[in-house]
Structure 1
Amino acid sequence: MVNLIQACENDIPMILEFMKDFYAIDHYPFKPERIRPNLHKLISDNSIGRLWLVEYSDQKVGYLALTFGFSFEYGGRDAFIDEFFIKEGFRGKGIGKLVLKLLEPLALEAGVQTLHLEVEPHNSAGNQLYLNAGFKGNDRILLNKAIHK
């Protein structure tokens, strides 16, 4: 049995551990001092998104962060699956597929018209999961520019 459990403040230490493992996969810098305040924001303000723990057979095995945006092209509120992580040892069991099925009605309930995500090119299992779930490439390149101090 797979469930999405909305995260609360008490879950932050566990989520940070999941994030540390997730970021290590692709050698992303892990800065808990920068991440922790944003976890507090996402947990306390449903207008910017949602944060869930992934539960499998009564164990917390990962997390999913969904952040909201707005797009004329996509019909209003859209959302970005900002982070989606399942612990090693629990991958390949169909958990990701079930999480994405659980996510869609929750996103619709929040007024989301379109879901977006990005996936590393080398992550063939992730790419296949998302394609099988109905995600499609849009022949565009996602560009980023950090504008913080």
Structure 2
Amino acid sequence: MSAALTLGGPDHLEKLLPLVASFHAEEGITSSEEDRHAGVAPLLDGNPYGCVYLIGPPRAPIGYIVIAFGWSVEFGGLDAIIDELYIRPGVRGRGIASEALIALPRALAGGGLRAIHLEVDKTNAQALKLYQRAGFSVRDNYMFMSKRL
């Protein structure tokens, strides 16, 4: 099984939306089909605020990564947050997510990216191990916080 990354485009929308719905259901995220479409379609259409990478063969992806771009004075320029990372349950545990997380910086490096961030449930030991293996580390004294608008 390959963790090859393909930059998503408009023609990938119908393959991607069921994966997003599965991820949201698995994580207990309440979202409508319209919300998922509104969140994904602009990124596939080239919106400069983010992008989607399909994991595996583009005709039958086994997962996806959503990246949201931002700017950081601390990190000296363009940064990104991994907003969502999903691998189909039937192919988990084969190193696909690790491969994808290792390939991701290479895919984004040409665009001048200085840092990649992510949010993880502190109680999810498996996810913590995965992210640490891929080179992510906890920043002492920092906590990701949100305010819904």
- TM, length-normalised to structure 2: 0.90
SS in 2 for 1:60: coil
Moved more, 23-32 or 89-98: 23-32
Quick one: which of 128, 140, 143 aligns to 1:141? Answer: 143
Match of 2:27 in 1: 26
Structure 1 segments of 4+ aligned residues over 4 angstroms from their partners:
none
- Map 1:80-99 onto structure 2 (within 5 A): 80-99=81-100
Greater Cα shift, 89-98 or 133-142: 133-142
**Matched residue, 1:112:** 113
CA distance in structure 2 between the aligned counterparts of 1:63 and 1:118, rounded to whole angstroms: 16
Q: Structure 2: 5+ residue runs without aligned partners?
A: none
Q: How many residues align?
A: 146
Counterpart Cα distance in 2 of 1:47 and 1:120: 28
Matching residue's letter, 1:145: K
The more displaced of 10-19 and 64-73 is 10-19
| Aligned: 1:64 with 2:65 | yes
The 3 A distance-change label for structure 1 pair 107 and 46 is farther
Q: Which amino acid aligns with 2:3?
A: V
What is the deviation of 1:121?
A: 2.5
Letter of the 1:86 partner, please give it. Answer: I
Identity of aligned residues (%): 29
SS at match of 1:83: strand
Deviation at 1:59, TM superposition (A): 4.1
Question: Cα distance 1:24–1:122, how it changes in 2: closer, same or farther (>3 A)?
Answer: farther
Deviation at 1:7, TM superposition (A): 1.3
CA offset at residue 62 of structure 1?
Answer: 0.6
Distance 1:59 1:13, change over 3 A: closer
Offset, 1:80: 0.5
Does structure 1 conserve the Cα–Cα contact (< 8 Å) formed by 2:78 and 2:115? yes
Gaps of 5+ in 1: none
> Would you tell me which structure has more strand in proportion to its own residues?
1
- Aligned partners of 2:85 and 2:68: how far apart in 1? 12
CA distance in 2, matches of 1:3, 1:125: 22
Between 76-85 and 35-44, report the one with greater CA deviation. Answer: 35-44
- Provide Cα deviations, 1:1-22, integer angstroms capped at 9, x if missing partner: 3211111223212211111111
Give the Cα–Cα distance (whole angstroms) in 1 for the partners of residues 117 and 38 of structure 2: 24
Q: Name the aligned partner's letter for residue 127 of structure 1.
A: L
